Structure 1
Amino acid sequence: MTLIASPSGPPPRPFGRALCAMVTPFTASGALDLDRAQRLAAELVAGGCDGLVLNGTTGESPTTTDAEKAALVRAVRDALGPGVALVAGVGTADTAHTVELARQAERAGADGLLVIPPYYSRPPQAAVEAHFRRVADATGLPLALYDIPGRTATRIEPETVLRLAEHPRIVAVKDCAYDLLGSTKVLARTSLAYYSGCEEMNLPLYAIGGAGFISTVANVAPGRMRAVLDAFDAGDTALAARLNQLTIGLAELMMASGLPGTVTVKALLDAGPVREPLQPAGRETVDGLRAAYEELVKGPVQEPTTLL
């Protein structure tokens, strides 16, 4: 497909603005549910998503097989056709395995790759840089670096990002580093597209030149998440701030409740169970999530109410 073109001025948006880190639906028995995945993908795009990230952490990539990952990309591509950006998560702790997953994702129809630093082994920055270059050289797809040291225990330091930005296929960053100063410095010196990967940073990062977001909460509220960016782009920053406040209550419940976003999303969607070691949310948590969700989706758009 032809990726969404950058606007006439900065920032670049190689995958659009509003992306959802989509959950991977399973059947009641725990098998991959491709029919439900296709329906969910179509619903998310109809609800306002420019693109989808498949096989990310929210998509339970640690517990899906390589074959399941490829099948999911193929199924969603078949359902959506060529007009929607599909970014495949291919990160592992093993460079060779990551390269193979990248090539597999390209064959399956992905438009881009999302790659984390190798986790657990905590490689030094020179090795982190070499890892990303190996993956970027392995396919013809554009690549987004995923900086999330809270999960990987390894930061992609800003100076490393600056060097990697010289690679023609490294085009974006999914930013979960909580370092707005570092992100600002890279934005000022490169043409990399910065996507917020943490809902509370969506508007702040966008306001300093970010490209948009890759959101877990967008699984259940894609239109409301996108509306924040729409208001900002229309020049109504006060409305953007109010809309952002409206989404934060639900985001906090879903992302800071002690449960992974995958669990809370699946508590709100008909997307099947989670795979172990994850466990489903308890009834009290589900009831709280549903109450907040109902207030978010049914409340007035311009006059946010307190969700917590």
Structure 2
Amino acid sequence: MRLDGVLFFPVTPFGPDGNLAEPILARHVAEGVAAGAGGVFTACGTGEFNALDLEEYTRVVSTAVTATAGRVPVFAGAGGPLPTARAFARAAAAEGADGLLLMPPYLVTGPTAGLVRYVREVTAASDLPVIVYQRGTARFTPAAVADLAVTVPNVVGFKDGLGDFDLLQRIILTVRGVTDKDFTFFNGLPTAELTVPAYRGLGVNLYSSAVFAFAPEISLAFHKAVTGGDEALVQRLLTDFYLPLVELRDSVPGYAVSLVKAGARIRGLNVGGVRPPLTDPSPDHLETLKHLITQGLHLTTADPST
């Protein structure tokens, strides 16, 4: 169960009645895997984990596992209040997920010892491999990550959503210094491609791609360019697609999810809107997004000499 390539974080489709649209989710996941995803992370941040109840979550994980059909690993999100996180972990295991992405506890900011205890108690709920997600209120020390890597067998990775490169470098060095365990680090910042060159400088090559959920052609072209040393294409995509996309994303809180879902609709997949407290993009922002998608697709096929 090794993660590689571009990691796909599918959205969670809702129908006109606001309910989960499983056939659309199945198509979304199957098409993403067929396009070349290296792993599926379902019911995570982009999949509006925060807006799903346990019954819906169970159906999302089951649908993603079935649609993936064993071709790549399927990780499911878990997090929030401790009882909820444990229940979701058990449900993911029962539905055949290959692992968990453990997101932060709900609202509160706890000390490092409390975060470590939270991880231990959630991981004890199932035998699934767990990737710990550092973001928001969940900020780990190097010693804490090393302790989890050594003492909790099913903690197998660390996803960084802070972008504090000094801290991340110290975490990597500390973990590598205490264990030879196959422990995965990856870039989990929103619109991660913008920071991929910086993370690669630390030896962190794996990253999540929100863009893959609505424009896998752009996401895969960037991945091919950055891993193949095509610096010219990397810079064109960063400058002319990813940078303006990030600027649009930052214009409204929650757009890191809302724009992805809107992008999927623009590309012809009827995934519906987002649930509160998120809001769907305004008409002018939708037009900007359409333009950016067109521009990004053009960049993946354009002859740089013309």
Aligned to 1:263: 258
Distance 1:47 1:107, change over 3 A: same
Query: Any idea what the Cα deviations from partners look like across 1:177-217, whole Å, max 9, x if unmatched?
Result: 11112212222332531111122222321342114112222
Aligned to 2:179: none
Shift of 1:254: 5.1
Query: Any idea what the Cα deviations from partners look like across 1:61-92, whole Å, max 9, x if unmatched?
Result: 12111111110111121122012211100111
Paired residues of 2:211 and 2:218 also in contact (CA < 8 A): no
Task: Give the residue type in structure 1 aligned to 2:4.
Answer: G
Q: TM-score, normalised by structure 2?
A: 0.86
Task: Give the residue type in structure 2 aligned to 1:218.
Answer: F
Q: How does 1:73-84 map to 2 (within 5 A)?
A: 73-84=61-72
Counterparts of 2:127 and 2:12, CA distance in 1: 26
Paired residues of 1:203 and 1:244 also in contact (CA < 8 A): no
Whether 1:180 aligns to 2:165 is yes
Structure 1: 5+ residue stretches without partners? 5-14
How many residues are treated as equivalent by the alignment? Answer: 288
One of 216, 226, 240 as aligned partner of 2:220: 226
Whether 1:202 aligns to 2:196 is yes
3-state SS, counterpart of residue 124 of structure 2: helix
Query: Any idea what the Cα deviations from partners look like across 1:144-182, whole Å, max 9, x if unmatched?
Result: 111112xxx341223211211112211111211111122
Which is further off, 71-80 or 203-212?
203-212
Counterparts of 1:238 and 1:181, CA distance in 2: 28
Task: Give the residue type in structure 2 aligned to 1:80.
Answer: T
Aligned to 1:95: 82
Whether 1:164 aligns to 2:157 is no
Counterparts of 1:249 and 1:44, CA distance in 2: 24
Counterparts of 1:208 and 1:226, CA distance in 2: 22
Task: Give the residue type in structure 2 aligned to 1:17.
Answer: G
Task: Give the residue type in structure 2 aligned to 1:146.
Answer: Y
Aligned to 2:8: 20
Counterparts of 1:288 and 1:234, CA distance in 2: 30
Shift of 1:225: 2.2
Shift of 1:221: 2.3
Paired residues of 2:237 and 2:299 also in contact (CA < 8 A): no
Counterparts of 2:235 and 2:27, CA distance in 1: 32
Query: Any idea what the Cα deviations from partners look like across 1:237-270, whole Å, max 9, x if unmatched?
Result: 5554444445423541453221422211222223
One of 98, 105, 120 as aligned partner of 2:92: 105
Structure 2: 5+ residue stretches without partners? 177-181, 265-269
Shift of 1:35: 0.5
